[in-house]
Amino acid sequence: MNNEVLLKTLQHAPEEPNQRSLAQQLGFSLGKTNYILKALTEKGFIKAERFANSDNKLAYRYALTADGIQERIRLTEKFIARKKQEYETLTKELEQLKKL
């Protein structure tokens, strides 16, 4: 699993009401989303909590753990650093093209 997939999942999992809507938000199949959520749960980054007020008592929401919050911060920092580097590279290329 790549870092962008993990980051997107950590960003959106707490906001979505179920795996199906999370899968749609992420652009993944339901099976892949389930696989990712299980992996993140095993790593201790998210936990599944039952909805207390749900008619469907099997419904869960996903909450970030303290480790999950730290991982999201770490991945976000890496993402920003990579995008800054890409921006700097593109800026240099643009400046060179303008000189032609």
Q: Are 40 and 48 in contact (CB under 8 A)?
A: no
Q: Determine the pLDDT at residue 51.
A: 64
Task: Tell me what pLDDT residue 48 has.
Answer: 87
The domains found in the chain, sorted by start residue, are: 3-99 (1.10.10.10)
Can you tell me the distance from the alpha carbon of 49 to that of 90, in angstroms, rounded to the nearest whole number? 44
Please state, in angstroms and rounded to a whole number, the distance separating the CA atoms of residues 78 and 28: 23
Question: Model confidence over 19-45: pLDDT tens digits?
Answer: 999 999 999 999 999 999 999 999 999
Tell me the percentage of the chain whose pLDDT exceeds 90. Answer: 79
Residues 19 and 34 sit within 8 Å (Cβ to Cβ): yes
- pLDDT the model gives residue 17: 84
What is residue 30's three-state secondary structure?
helix
Q: What pTM was estimated for this model as a whole?
A: 0.80
100 pLDDT exceeds 90?
no
Round to whole Å and give the CA distance between 48 and 63. 6
